[in-house]
Amino acid sequence: MAEHHPLFKDLSGIVGESNVIDDPVLLAAYSQDASLLPPHYPELVVRPGSVEEVVEVVKLANRTKTPVIPTGGRASMCGASLPLKGGITLDLTRLNRVVNVDEANLKATVECGITWGALLYELAKVGYEPCFKGPYSGHAATVGGSISSNTIGLGSAKWGQAGDTVVSLEVVLPTGEVLRTGTAANPRAPPYLRYVVGPDLTGIFCGDHGIFGVKTKATIKIQPLPKAIGYSSFGFSDLVSAVKAFWEIQRTQLAEDMVILCDRKSIEQILPEAPQVFEGVEALFVFIVQAPDEGVCSAIKSYLDSLAINCGGRDLGEMFPKTFWESKYEMITPLFEWGMWTATCHALPTLKIPEATREAITLFKEYRVDELGMNYIATAMACGSNAVSYVAHTYFDPSDPEKRKIAEEIWTRRKRRVFEYGACPYWTGVGWYKEAVEYMSHEWHEALKKLKRALDPNNVMNPGAFEIWEV
Ligand SMILES: Cc1cc2nc3c(=O)[nH]c(=O)nc-3n(C[C@H](O)[C@H](O)[C@H](O)COP(=O)(O)OP(=O)(O)OC[C@H]3O[C@@H](n4cnc5c(N)ncnc54)[C@H](O)[C@@H]3O)c2cc1C
């Protein structure tokens, strides 16, 4: 029988033997995410069941200088959850309870390993839903993973990114202390507000990829389940008019969610029946209105519909948006049938969608992706009143070396162009850290390193992320 890892016994003493994995076959499952980046193997996977166990694991890692990477659903698309320096992958998915639903303050405190799918289900039982409802990967993705990677997703039109609806975090710091942020930093106060007493400590853990600690609990904004939902979709003969209408509606912040498909091919890919149904439509968008009663819902929907119609929009009915909203996390996973994705999702000012689309499609044409039979999509989802998560990527069969090479070349070029045309990715990862550090300011990277040095003197937490190899 193969020898166990030298830390196996100590870790088993903390979390129980059945929650420590050092079998190479099982470790392989933790060596990749939802991208085709080369695998990085952890030496061990540890699955803690409480914050106390997380503390003990982190302390042991410090004593032995063992790297630790916290992970949730491992649904990252650019290698964020890959253990660059081996060590321990700390799988947080056993921490998956709803701890408290605070109806008076409209907040829920949850353990960070809960998936968005499970969270929606649990909150619905008591008549609520999270305001930000997670990414499209919400059956796998966790609340902790999404906060740690600045996720944009369902509900972002009204509520912004994952971190925007967080009021308090419980974080096991890299040296093992347990920090509570927001009002909960007062041991006598519950978590109900974020910006109190001093600077916003919650913020440094949003988008940190776990380099500043392990999030164990999050308190997030919730709202009562809507009593009425309105669904709209509008088609346009050109993208510029579509974006103008989209922006007019977005900036009211009355829609819960908004998604735009930016060219005819993308429409036909997503809706194969489009040639018959949506003749002459070169771009379309959907939006969702949620309200406490039918009257409010229909008043808001009529007003927003009129903005679309004033910009030349043709009403395409409610079937497509209704299917989209009801299927939520099942909506885009089937696109893996087209092959793997080379995602370059990034935050873009809404009014720059036409320019970004022109550029992406010109690049796809340069590589003759159409003639090669490769699919692509150009789409965007609203984030707050002014920006979108912009997505334009190709799909490819990974077993076809020619198409894979083309898709990877396009990916490499697009990652750089995103920064060059004045945008920023919101989630990154191993496949994007180099470009991020090259294009973000020197001062940005230095400040990150200083914080890292102060909080994690042994650089045990996710070393190598954001190109921080030494502190
Ligand atoms: C089909 C599909 C659809 C997707 N749709 C979207 C989308 O709509 N929007 C979007 O933004 N992204 C999307 N993604 C990318 C990704 O799934 C999301 O960003 C998701 O929020 C990641 O959550 P996770 O639990 O899988 O995190 P993981 O991949 O496990 O981790 C992500 C990062 O967070 C860190 N981390 C995880 N948990 C913790 C914790 N508790 N404490 C500290 N650090 C932690 C990890 O170290 C890693 O750096 C999609 C991916 C797929 C495959």
Same domain, 77 and 107: no
pLDDT surpassing 70 at residue 111: yes
Same domain, 256 and 353: yes
Same domain, 384 and 238: yes
Same domain, 184 and 250: no
Distance CA 438, CA 428 (A): 13
Q: How far is the CA of 343 from the centre of ligand 1 (A)?
A: 13
Q: Is the CB of 209 under 6 A from ligand 1?
A: yes
Please give the tally of structural domains in the chain.
4
Closest C-alpha to ligand 1, atom 35: 209
For residue 324, the domain's CATH number is 3.40.462.40
Distance CA 445, CA 460 (A): 18
Residue 2 lies in a domain: no
Same domain, 413 and 444: no
> Within its chain, how far is the Cα of 248 from the centroid?
25
* Two structure tokens written together for 101: 């639903």
* Two structure tokens written together for 247: 């922006």
Q: How far is the CA of 377 from the centre of ligand 1 (A)?
A: 21
pLDDT in tens, 121-131: 999 999 999 99
Q: How far is the CA of 7 from the centre of ligand 1 (A)?
A: 28
Same domain, 368 and 263: yes
Lowest-confidence range among 99-103, 318-322, 350-354? 318-322
Three-state DSSP state, 438: helix
Same domain, 126 and 261: no
Lowest-confidence range among 178-182, 275-279, 364-368? 275-279
pLDDT in tens, 30-48: 999 999 899 999 999 999 9
Residue 425 lies in a domain: no
Closest of 103, 129, 131, 107 to residue 118, by C-alpha: 129
Q: How far is the CA of 273 from the centre of ligand 1 (A)?
A: 32
CA end-to-end span of the chain = 39
Reported confidence tier of residue 335, pLDDT bands at 50, 70, 90: confident
For residue 57, the domain's CATH number is 3.30.43.10
pLDDT surpassing 80 at residue 277: no
The pLDDT value given to residue 85:
97
The pLDDT value given to residue 275:
72
Distance CA 370, CA 458 (A): 50
The pLDDT value given to residue 442:
98
Distance CA 379, CA 41 (A): 34
Choose one of 189, 224, 259: the last residue of a domain.
224
Percent of the chain at pLDDT > 90 equals 91
Atom of ligand 1 nearest to the CA of 152: 11
Three-state DSSP state, 366: helix
Atom of ligand 1 nearest to the CA of 216: 41
Closest of 463, 462, 239 to residue 359, by C-alpha: 239
* Two structure tokens written together for 396: 């490819």
Three-state DSSP state, 154: coil
Choose one of 67, 91, 115: the last residue of a domain.
91
The pLDDT value given to residue 334:
80
Distance CA 118, CA 397 (A): 32
Choose one of 36, 59, 91: the last residue of a domain.
91
pLDDT surpassing 90 at residue 167: yes
Between residues 398 and 144, the one the model is more confident about? 144
In the predicted model, what is the mean pLDDT of residues 80-101? Answer: 98
Three-state DSSP state, 223: strand
Same domain, 117 and 256: no
Those residues with Cβ within 8 angstroms of residue 304's Cβ, 6 or more apart along the chain or in another chain: 232, 249, 252, 254, 255, 287, 289
Distance CA 100, CA 115 (A): 16
Atom of ligand 1 nearest to the CA of 151: 11
Q: How far is the CA of 76 from the centre of ligand 1 (A)?
A: 5
Same domain, 252 and 364: yes
Closest C-alpha to ligand 1, atom 29: 74
**Average pLDDT of the chain, as a whole number:** 96
Percent of the chain at pLDDT > 70 equals 100
Closest of 464, 371, 380 to residue 68, by C-alpha: 464
pLDDT surpassing 70 at residue 382: yes
Give the start-end residues of each E strand in 269-402: 283-291, 314-315, 340-341, 346-349, 376-383, 387-396
Reported confidence tier of residue 260, pLDDT bands at 50, 70, 90: very high
Q: Is the CB of 376 under 6 A from ligand 1?
A: no
Cβ-contact 98, 114 below 8 angstroms = yes
pLDDT in tens, 246-255: 999 999 999 9
Residue 426 lies in a domain: no
Q: How far is the CA of 371 from the centre of ligand 1 (A)?
A: 33
Same domain, 316 and 395: yes
Residue 456 lies in a domain: yes
Same domain, 412 and 348: yes
> Which neighbouring-strand residues pair with 394?
376
To the question of pTM greater than 0.95 for the whole model, the response is yes
In the predicted model, what is the mean pLDDT of residues 360-364? Answer: 97
- 180 sits in which H/E element: strand 178-180
The pLDDT value given to residue 1:
62
Domain that holds residue 461: 433-467
* Two structure tokens written together for 394: 């190709």
The pLDDT value given to residue 339:
86
Same domain, 214 and 109: yes
> Within its chain, how far is the Cα of 200 from the centroid?
21
For residue 186, the domain's CATH number is 3.30.465.10
